[in-house]
């Protein structure tokens, strides 16, 4: 197709092209003239769908310096200040030497920005400059820390009074990029910069927020469907279990205390001197037997896997890796050697298919031991130091000393910063053997590791759904892994932050995420742990994890009344498991998150637009966690629907409340929770693990006229659901006028499997 005038804008310096897709998305390609020879063969492929030939098309107006994008006669976006240079607004000039392209997306002051994946700060992103560069901040990160482990160069603009109220913008680049979200004097802007000689971006206009997220996950991939055990409560702790006995004790304790739990994690202490794919046989003499014992009690085992392969002849992953030539190269073309937990190590080049194949085999071995899931840490990659950057560090320290600086905390921070940054000069090879600088693909390292690990798990257990937990990732990581938000700390600030992070990850296409419940760094206090477990019982990914030598934070660690309350909320998660599982299935099919800001469900309610400390879990439950120390009340807003006020039913008392602001008592044992009008939640009695399926299904609903309560069920572990082996239906609950009882029927939509329940009880 020859580009028409409106498909292309051209000046002496730049040329712009726009391509329309039938999925109502467009791609804008911006290149300097002459067009540079530049490609990135590693970018994950996108499902754009068919190119749109007529109707429903986008076009450009203006000139490359100031251009506008239109869709069916509506202006969607305006851009200016296109430059082939490091953006002036990016304060940190240290990265300036690379080739950059930058421009400004001009928005109204009243517009809001969401998304950007795993970022700190608040739910709305204005007033910050964000960088996409996967990074281990090492140790405790603050409310302002940036960048973090995972990069998703995607944001959503929420507009007012516009036929397309939402616009998604995806910068299709794995190179380092920067986003400057500012809103001053009534004007807004998002500065965009990328370390590449050109820019390629997608625009996704939509009338609703849900539509944008669906479109973005259409483009980058729908989330994987986890095995059911992966959405239970998980217990983890760096350093614990220290040996087999401690692992067995831990499992026993959960069952004795009747605190539900599905999985135990084995952090780096389980390995033989930190060599990946090994066990310390003194402390874990029989991993297979241990896993069998855990399985006996319906526990799953998840082991950590770091990317560093100890450089040591005789160590099989190193030897075979050398043979198959799978490691990242340094600037001289030798295997790059850096330091990680096992000492000097080489690093798999996951961008090569040969490496992924090799890696898959080692993950197989894990499964031979009976391990159920894999936890990928340090995959930014975080590298403690290499010979080269040690020298660089020493040189900088010397310079600082020469300048009269003392060895204060600043210097220490600087050291840590350098130590966990991937060294420069690394090289990757594509499958044809061509070399590419690490900088181009850094942000894809964790993504390709997760892909390779998925491959390994699939080879070993072809029909089982894999579970992988990752720290680093890129747009599309939702296809392969759940995501936890790294080394947070045991502070109230961090608990709040975890709400914003999980909400924004969900808006960025990653529904399956959660923080270390209780916090990683530092000693948790009992009240904080309990409040975090209350909130955490609703997180899509629900794992209590903490750092080495921190105060134990198991649900029972602080005795009563904390243990009883922690148990009650973990049990709540297991009671509403049918609801959560149905939401996971919906997320898998549509990309919609479980954790939703109020304005996702109630777009017509202006008041709901700015609420950030309470949110929806699916479309039926509103949760308002207490996030303040010592608080025993919660003020909250119950949104209204399109047609006005709604009835909200208190989960605990059954009492009705109208839309509007309310103050609720929320003593330590209470998480305010409400059911939306004409909605319901399928649940069961409490179980101890997800393999236990009670034969009674309960329906708790808030009925005015008619509620539809969807329910999904499958075998919880295989891929047979893809062949139709599942049940999906909707309970239709009708309020019969003049009659006391509601009329309930189950409309089966897909009956490839029997429901698990024999009878239904209405609550
Ligand atoms: O350098 O494996 O974020 O969850 O417990 C620290 C030990 C390495 C960082 C992970 C954390 C894990 C810890 N790891």
612, with CB counted inside 10 A (0-12, 13-18, 19+), is middle
Predicted local confidence at residue 302, as pLDDT? 98
| Residue 211 · residue 354 · CB < 8 Å | no
Which tokens in the block code for residue 438? 């690490």
More confident residue, 260 or 383: 260
Of 377, 378, 550, 553, the residue with max ligand 1 atoms within 8 A of its CB, to mutate for a pocket test, comes to: 377
Percent share of the chain, pLDDT over 90: 83
Ligand 1 pocket test target in 236, 240, 242, 378 with most atoms within 8 Å of CB: 378
User: What is the Cα–Cα distance from 593 to 478, expressed in whole angstroms?
Assistant: 11
The answer to whether 66 touches 14, Cβ cutoff 8 Å, is: no
Alpha carbon of 458 to ligand 1 centroid (Å): 26
Secondary structure of 394-449 as H, E, C letters? HHHHHHHHHCCCCCCHHHHHHHHHHHCCCCCCCEEECCCCCEEEHHHHHHHHHHHH
Local structure of residue 97 (DSSP, 8 states): T
Which ligand 1 atom is nearest residue 487's CA? 3
From the candidates 487, 647, 677, 678, give the one annotated as an active-site residue: 487
Report how far ligand 1's centroid is from the alpha carbon of 377 (Å): 7
- Please give the number of the atom of ligand 1 that sits closest to the Cα of 236: 5
Helices (H) and strands (E) in the chain, counts: 14, 45
Ligand 1, atom nearest to 306 Cα: 2
Distance CA 738, CA 574 (A): 36
Closest of 145, 87, 158, 91 to residue 118, by C-alpha: 145
Atom of ligand 1 nearest to the CA of 341: 1
Contact predicate 249/57, CB 8 Å: no
Specify the DSSP element, H or E, that contains 498: helix 492-507
C-alpha distance across the termini of the chain, in Å: 61
688-728 confidence digits (pLDDT tens) = 999 999 999 999 999 999 999 999 999 999 999 999 999 99
Q: Which of 135, 238, 385 to mutate to test the pocket of ligand 1 (most atoms within 8 A of CB)?
A: 238
pLDDT at 162: 72
Whose CA is closest to 104, among 180, 17, 163, 171?
Answer: 180
What string of DSSP letters covers 328-368?
PB-TTSSBP-EEETTEEEE-B-TTSHHHHHHHHHHHHHHHH
Q: What confidence tier does 2 reach under pLDDT thresholds 50, 70, 90?
A: very low
* Ligand 1 nearest-atom number relative to CA 471: 3
Question: Could you give the dihedral angle defined by the CA atoms of residues 528, 652, 226 and 263, in that order, rounded to the nearest 10 degrees?
Answer: 50
Q: Which of 131, 146, 335, 380 is catalytic?
A: 380
| pLDDT above 80 (res 424) | no
Reduce the DSSP state of residue 739 to 3 states and report it.
coil
pLDDT at 1 over 50: no
CA of 754 to the centre of ligand 1 (A): 42
3-state helix, strand, coil in the chain (%, to 5): 25, 30, 45
Catalytic residue at 487?
Answer: yes
194: tokens are 């990328």
Q: What is the pLDDT of residues 7-54, one digit of tens each?
A: 999 999 999 999 999 888 999 999 999 999 998 999 999 999 888 877
Query: Pairing relation of β-strands 542-544 and 516-517?
Result: parallel
Model confidence pLDDT, tens digit, residues 461-513: 999 999 999 999 999 999 999 999 999 999 999 999 999 999 999 999 999 99
User: What does the pLDDT look like over 148-165, one tens digit per residue?
Assistant: 999 999 999 999 767 779
Q: Between 389 and 257, whose confidence is greater?
A: 257
Mutation test residue for ligand 1: of 241, 483, 486, 487, the one with most atoms within 8 Å of CB: 487
Annotated active-site residue 380? The verdict is yes
Sequence-ordered list of residues with C-beta below 8 angstroms from that of 466, at least 6 positions apart, any chain: 224, 227, 373, 374, 453, 454, 457, 458, 480
Q: How far is the CA of 499 from the centre of ligand 1 (A)?
A: 21
Catalytic option among 175, 293, 377, 601: 377
**Residue 494, token pair as written in the block:** 């961090």
**709 contact partners, CB below 8 Å, separation of at least 6:** 620, 679, 680, 681, 682, 699, 701, 730, 731, 733
Beta bridge partners of 111: none
Write out the H or E segment, with its range, that includes residue 200: strand 199-206
- List pocket residues of ligand 1, CB cut-off 6 Å: 238, 267-268, 304, 377, 471, 486-487, 545
Strand partners, 20: 26
pTM to 2 decimal places? 0.96
CA 615, CA 595: separation in Å to the nearest integer? 7
Rg (CA), the chain: 26
What pLDDT is stored for residue 93 in this prediction?
60
The encoded tokens of residue 531 equal 């409040």
Least confident among 86-100, 237-251, 453-467, 606-620: 86-100
The greatest distance separating any two alpha carbons of the chain, rounded to the nearest whole angstrom, comes to 88
For the stretch 522-566, pLDDT in tens is 999 999 999 999 999 999 999 999 999 999 999 999 999 999 999
Span 88-95, mean pLDDT?
71
How many Å separate Cα 64 from the centre of its chain? 35
Distance from C-alpha of 75 to C-alpha of 73, rounded to nearest angstrom? 7
192 Cβ neighbours under 8 A, 6+ residues apart: 87, 102, 103, 104, 105, 171, 177, 178, 179, 180, 199, 201
Distance CA 590, CA 584 (A): 10
Using the atom order of ligand 1, give the atom closest to the CA of residue 545.
Answer: 4
Contacts of 85 (CB under 8 A, 6+ apart): 100, 101, 102
Going from the Cα of 307 to the center of ligand 1, the distance in angstroms, rounded, reads: 13
Q: What pLDDT score does 637 carry?
A: 98
Q: Is the peptide bond before 708 cis (omega within 30 degrees of 0)?
A: no
Is residue 563 within 8 Å of 533, Cβ to Cβ?
no
Residue 521 C-alpha to ligand 1 middle, in angstroms? 10
Rounded to 10 deg, the angle between the 287-296 and 244-257 helix axes is 0
Q: Which of 398-412, 432-446, 651-665 has the weakest average pLDDT?
A: 398-412
The single residue listed with the structure tokens 């203006």 is 62
Does the annotation count 377 as an active-site position?
Answer: yes
Tell me, what's the pLDDT at 714?
Answer: 98
- What is the 339 CA–ligand 1 centroid distance (Å)? 15
Strands 300-305 and 373-376, by their bridges, are parallel
């Amino acid at each position: 197709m020859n580009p028409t005038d409106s498909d292309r804008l051209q000046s002496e310096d730049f040329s712009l092209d726009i391509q329309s897709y039938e999925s109502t998305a467009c791609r804008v390609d911006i290149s300097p003239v002459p067009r540079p020879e530049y490609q990135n063969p590693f970018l994950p492929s996108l499902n754009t769908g068919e190119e749109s030939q007529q109707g429903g098309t986008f076009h450009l107006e203006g000139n490359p310096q100031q251009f506008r994008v239109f869709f069916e006669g509506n202006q969607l976006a305006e851009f200016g200040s296109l430059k082939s240079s490091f953006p002036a607004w990016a304060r940190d000039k240290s990265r300036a030497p690379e080739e950059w392209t930058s421009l400004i997306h001009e928005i109204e002051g009243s517009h809001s920005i969401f998304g950007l994946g795993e970022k700190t700060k608040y739910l709305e992103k204005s007033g910050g400059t964000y960088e996409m560069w996967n990074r281990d901040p090492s140790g405790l990160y603050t409310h302002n820390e940036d960048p973090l482990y995972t990069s998703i160069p995607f944001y959503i603009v929420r507009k007012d009074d516009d036929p397309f109220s939402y616009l998604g913008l995806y910068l299709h680049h794995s190179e380092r990029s920067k986003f400057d979200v500012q809103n001053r004097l009534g004007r807004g802007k998002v500065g965009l910069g990328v370390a590449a000689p050109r820019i390629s971006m997608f625009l996704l206009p939509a009338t609703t927020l849900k539509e944008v997220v669906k479109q973005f996950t259409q483009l980058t991939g729908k989330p994987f469907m986890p095995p059911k055990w992966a959405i239970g409560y998980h217990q983890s702790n760096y350093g614990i279990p220290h040996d087999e006995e401690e692992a067995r004790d831990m499992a026993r304790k959960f069952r004795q205390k009747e605190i539900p739990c599905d999985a135990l994690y084995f952090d780096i202490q389980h390995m033989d001197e930190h060599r990946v794919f090994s066990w310390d046989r003194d402390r874990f003499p029989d991993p297979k037997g241990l896993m069998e014992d855990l399985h006996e009690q319906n526990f799953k085992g998840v082991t950590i896997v770091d990317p560093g392969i100890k450089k040591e002849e005789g160590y099989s992953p190193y030897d075979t890796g050398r043979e198959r030539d799978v490691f990242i190269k340094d600037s001289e073309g030798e295997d790059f050697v850096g330091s990680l937990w096992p000492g000097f190590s080489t690093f798999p080049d996951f961008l090569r298919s040969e490496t992924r194949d090799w890696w898959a085999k080692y993950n197989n071995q894990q499964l031979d031991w009976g391990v159920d899931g894999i936890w990928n840490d340090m995959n930014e990659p975080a590298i403690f130091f290499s010979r080269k950057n040690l020298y660089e560090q020493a040189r900088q320290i010397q310079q600082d000393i020469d300048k009269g600086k003392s060895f204060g905390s600043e210097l220490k921070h600087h050291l840590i910063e350098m130590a966990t940054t991937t060294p420069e000069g690394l090289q990757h090879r594509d499958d044809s053997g061509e070399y590419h600088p690490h900088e181009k693909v850094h942000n894809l390292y964790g993504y390709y590791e997760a892909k390779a690990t998925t491959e390994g798990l699939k080879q070993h257990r072809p029909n089982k759904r894999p579970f992988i937990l990752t720290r680093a990732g890129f747009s599309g990581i939702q296809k392969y892994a759940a995501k936890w938000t790294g080394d947070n700390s045991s502070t109230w600030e961090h608990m709040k932050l975890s709400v914003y992070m999980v909400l924004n990850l969900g808006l960025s296409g990653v529904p399956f995420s959660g923080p270390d419940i209780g916090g990683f760094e530092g000693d948790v206090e009992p009240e904080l742990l309990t409040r975090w477990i209350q909130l955490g019982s609703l997180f899509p990914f629900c794992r209590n994890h903490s750092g080495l030598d921190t105060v134990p934070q198991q649900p029972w660690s602080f005795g009563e009344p904390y243990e009883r309350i922690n148990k009650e909320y973990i049990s709540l998660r297991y009671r509403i498991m049918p609801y959560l599982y149905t939401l996971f299935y919906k997320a898998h099919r549509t990309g919609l998150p479980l954790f939703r800001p109020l304005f996702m469900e109630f777009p017509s309610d202006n008041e709901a637009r700015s609420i950030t400390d309470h949110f929806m879990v699916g479309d039926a439950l509103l949760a308002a966690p207490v996030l303040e120390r010592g608080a025993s009340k919660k003020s909250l807003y119950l949104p209204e629907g399109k047609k006005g006020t709604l009835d909200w039913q208190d989960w605990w008392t059954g009492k009705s409340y109208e839309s509007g602001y309310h103050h609720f008592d929320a003593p330590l044992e209470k998480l305010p929770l409400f059911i939306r009008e004409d909605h319901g939640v399928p649940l069961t009695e409490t179980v101890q693990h997800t393999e236990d399926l009670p034969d009674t299904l309960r329906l708790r609903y808030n009925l005015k006229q008619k509620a539809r309560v969807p329910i999904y069920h499958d075998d919880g572990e295989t891929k047979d659901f893809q062949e139709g082996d599942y049940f999906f239906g909707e309970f239709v609950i009708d309020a019969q006028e003049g009659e006391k009882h509601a009329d309930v029927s189950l409309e089966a939509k897909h009956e490839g499997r029997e429901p698990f329940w024999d009878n239904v009880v209405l609550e």
